[in-house]
Chain A
Amino acid sequence: MPTTRRRFLSLAGGVTVAGTIPVITLRPLQATPAMLTTAIRNVVGEAQIRTGRVKLDIPPLVENGNTVPMTVSVTSPMTAADYVKSIHVFNEKNPQPNIGNFYLNPSAGRAQISTRIRLADTQKVVAIARLSDDSFWQVAADVVVTLAACTEEMN
Chain B
Amino acid sequence: MIVWRAIAAAVLVIAGPALLAGEIPPDARRSGYSFMGPDTRAMQDDDTSNPGMLFVLEGEALWGKRTSDAGKACADCHGDARSSMKGVAARYPAFDKQLGRPVTLDQRINLCRANHQQTTPLPYESRDLLALSAFVAHQSRGVPITAGNDPELKPFVQQGHDLFMQREGQLNLACTNCHDDNFDKRLAGAPITQAQPTGYPLYRLEWQTLGSIERRLRSCMSGVRAQAYDYGSPELVALELYLMSRARGLPMETPAVRP
CB of B259 within 8 A of chain A?
yes
B152-171 to A contact mask, C-beta < 8 Å, 1/0: 00000000000000000000
Report the separation of the CA atoms of residues A153 and B42 in the bound assembly, to the nearest whole angstrom: 28
CB neighbors of A among B174-212 (8 A)? 188-190, 205-206, 208
A29: shortest Cβ distance to chain B, in Å? 20
Q: Decide if A59 touches B39 in the complex (CB within 8 Å).
A: yes
Report the separation of the CA atoms of residues A18 and B190 in the bound assembly, to the nearest whole angstrom: 11
CB of B22 within 8 A of chain A?
no
Report the separation of the CA atoms of residues A17 and B190 in the bound assembly, to the nearest whole angstrom: 11
CB of A67 within 8 A of chain B?
yes
Contacts of B205 in A (CB 8 A): 63-64, 66-67
A21: shortest Cβ distance to chain B, in Å? 12
- Closest residue of chain B to A152 (Cβ to Cβ) is B206
CB of B85 within 8 A of chain A?
no
B177: shortest Cβ distance to chain A, in Å? 16
A19: shortest Cβ distance to chain B, in Å? 9
Contacts of A147 in B (CB 8 A): 189-190, 206, 259
Q: Decide if B259 touches A63 in the complex (CB within 8 Å).
A: yes
B114: shortest Cβ distance to chain A, in Å? 28
CB of B119 within 8 A of chain A?
no
Q: Which label, helix, strand, loop or mixed, suits the secondary structure of the B interface?
A: loop
Chain B, interface size: which category? Answer: 10 to 19
CB of B40 within 8 A of chain A?
yes
Q: Decide if A63 touches B190 in the complex (CB within 8 Å).
A: yes
The winner among A17, A18, A63, A146 for most chain B CB atoms within 10 A is: A63
Contacts of B42 in A (CB 8 A): 69
Contact of A66 among B37, B43, B190, B206 (CB under 8 A): B206
Report the separation of the CA atoms of residues A146 and B37 in the bound assembly, to the nearest whole angstrom: 14
A155: shortest Cβ distance to chain B, in Å? 8
- Closest residue of chain A to B257 (Cβ to Cβ) is A67
The winner among B37, B39, B43, B208 for most chain A CB atoms within 10 A is: B39
B88-106 to A contact mask, C-beta < 8 Å, 1/0: 0000000000000000000
Contacts of A16 in B (CB 8 A): 188
B9-51 to A contact mask, C-beta < 8 Å, 1/0: 0000000000000000000000000001101101100000000
Contact of B37 among A15, A17, A59 (CB under 8 A): A59
Q: Decide if B188 touches A17 in the complex (CB within 8 Å).
A: yes
- Closest residue of chain A to B218 (Cβ to Cβ) is A155
Q: Decide if A146 touches B189 in the complex (CB within 8 Å).
A: yes
Q: Decide if B36 touches A63 in the complex (CB within 8 Å).
A: yes
Report the separation of the CA atoms of residues A67 and B36 in the bound assembly, to the nearest whole angstrom: 14
- Closest residue of chain B to A64 (Cβ to Cβ) is B205
CB neighbors of A among B201-259 (8 A)? 205-206, 208, 259
Report the separation of the CA atoms of residues A66 and B189 in the bound assembly, to the nearest whole angstrom: 15
Contacts of B259 in A (CB 8 A): 63-64, 147
Report the separation of the CA atoms of residues A64 and B37 in the bound assembly, to the nearest whole angstrom: 11
Q: Decide if A66 touches B208 in the complex (CB within 8 Å).
A: yes
Q: Decide if B43 touches A69 in the complex (CB within 8 Å).
A: yes
Q: Decide if A146 touches B188 in the complex (CB within 8 Å).
A: yes
Measured CB to CB, the residues of A under 8 A from B are: 15-18, 59, 63-64, 66-67, 69, 146-147
Name the 4 nearest CB pairs between A and B, nearest first. A146-B189, A64-B205, A63-B259, A67-B205
Measured CB to CB, the residues of B under 8 A from A are: 36-37, 39-40, 42-43, 188-190, 205-206, 208, 259
Since A66-B205, A147-B189 are in contact, a sample of 11 more A-B pairs with Cβ atoms closer than 8 Å, ordered by chain A residue number, is A59-B37, A59-B39, A63-B190, A64-B205, A64-B206, A64-B259, A66-B208, A67-B43, A67-B205, A147-B190, A147-B259
22 A-B Cβ contacts within 8 A? A17-B188, A18-B188, A59-B39, A63-B40, A63-B190, A63-B205, A63-B259, A64-B205, A64-B206, A66-B205, A66-B208, A67-B43, A67-B205, A67-B208, A69-B39, A69-B42, A69-B43, A146-B188, A146-B190, A147-B189, A147-B190, A147-B206
